Amino acid sequence: MHFLRKVFLVLAVFASLPVVAQLNSPYSRIGIGNLFTPTMGGSAGLAGNTQASFLPTEISFQNPAAYPFLFKSVLDVGVSGRVLTLDDGNDQFTSADGNLSYIAYGFSPDNNRSRHDFGASTGLLPLSTSNYNIDIINNSTDTILGTQQANYTGTGGTFQYYLGLGYAYDFGRDSATRKYNNTFSVGINYQFIFGNISNVTVASFPDQSNSVDTKFTRTTNMQGGGWNAGLGYQRQLGEYGNLNVGLSFTPSIELDAKQSISWFNINDLGAVQQITDTLFFAPDSAGVIVLAPQYHVGMAYSNYRNSKADDVKFMLTAGYSLRDWSQYSGFQYSDSLASSYQLSIGAEIIPPRRDKVGQNKIPMAYRIGAHYGTSYLRIQNEQLNEFGMTFGLGIPMRGSKLNLSAGLVQRGTPDMIRENYLNMQIGFNLFDANWFFKRRQN
């Protein structure tokens, strides 16, 4: 019951948080918007490396083969905030947003008496966001009309709900220790993706007080399901070491979509827009949106089996991902999408739990990571690059952990608009070891 009280307290806190959505990214006009990296808990401080970490209190949505390694019962909830600075070489513009970033639950019986184990997880997290407000002003070729102005705005995004199951098998028994040194695991997730995106374009002639504006609106609603599968392998090295390898694959996912288009002449009266003429109207046109297939592979080495209070604990991780967004198709602008890749590395260090005079300390985890790769965006036949650094801190509490992370990400090239992100995330990680123990009444 103590664990359930923690769960309800955390959910109540997050339900009372305000939601802010004011980020202005012009690149989110393309495809289904800016893509989120599905990071939970401490992985945000490791540049999102979760393919092979196999940590008992960290849920790895990207690789469901990690679920059997979970510690009994884990609930992870996070909020995030972002600050974006746009830089075109002459001017800078800054915007920010914040929101509930994920909620996930996982469990595993962790049966040490058997060579077989399983785990499961479910959760909800964002997939993409589209939020931009762009003004383009040009001088008209007609001197009577004067300045021509176009305003482009977009709102909305997509979310993904998942439900996954994993299975692990121990083998390679050591005759001396009578323990198994190898674990092979498999897992699969079902993903349900849903959301909507709205794009609005308003063309006007601000120099003419009696001119009529033109407004074009397109709203796209989408939903559909797919799956992703993962494999994992863990090898115990020496007295304390673990070497992990993980990989996962997500095939193309088809979403059922409906698009509504409207095109009007309007009188802009400030807070009120009066429709004067309908030029075109096509509601609920059915179609299909095809999302890109994804491939991920990762490795990790740790010495977390070392329980000595005077020794340093650490984990080193590395990962590679490939997303073939050139296969994307749908209503949204798809001609500017390309295949992208990302290389990432991360490290977690936990100093000794005792100081030099033998007094106990809080075993805090310090994390750092970096990633480099190409964006899925190709603008003017030039593919954008992405580079980022992440930093994190894990603060243990009784039956829980507070994960703090911050990251700096840069996307773009010097001759285009360059986006500089400051990403911040707070994660509440609650775990309990008593859910699968049989209760006895005295």
Termini Cα distance of the chain:
18
Are residues 342 and 383 in contact, defined by beta-carbon separation less than 8 angstroms? no
Choosing among 1.10.3470, 3.40.50, 2.40.160, 1.10.340, the CATH entry for 2-400+411-432 is 2.40.160
- What's the CA gap between 42 and 431, in Å, rounded? 14
d(CA 440, CA 442): 6
Q: What is the mean pLDDT of residues 296-302?
A: 97
Condensed to tens digits (0 to 9), the pLDDT of residues 23-47 reads 889 899 888 999 988 888 889 999 9
- Say what percent of the chain tops pLDDT 90: 53
Beta-strand runs (E) in 238-338: 241-250, 253-268, 273-291, 294-302, 313-324
pLDDT tens digits, one per residue of 175-201: 777 788 999 999 999 999 999 999 999
Domain extents for the chain? 2-400+411-432
The C-alpha torsion from 265 through 268 and 273 to 274, rounded to 10°, is -60
As a whole number of angstroms, the distance between CA 68 and CA 260 comes to 44
Q: What is the pTM of this model?
A: 0.87
pLDDT in tens, 12-23: 444 444 444 468
Helix, strand or coil, per DSSP, at residue 43: helix
CA angle 108, 41, 422 (to 5 degrees): 160
Query: Per residue in 356-405, pLDDT tens?
Result: 656 667 789 999 999 999 999 888 888 899 999 999 999 988 778 999 99
The answer to whether 419 touches 410, Cβ cutoff 8 Å, is yes
The model's confidence at residue 210, banded by pLDDT at 50, 70 and 90, is confident
Angle (nearest 5°) at CA 415 between 413 and 421:
40
Overall size of the chain counted in residues: 442
CB–CB of 390/405 below 8 Å? yes
Let me know if 239 is exposed, middle or buried by CB neighbors in 10 A (0-12, 13-18, 19+).
exposed
Residue 324 CB neighbours (<10 A): 17
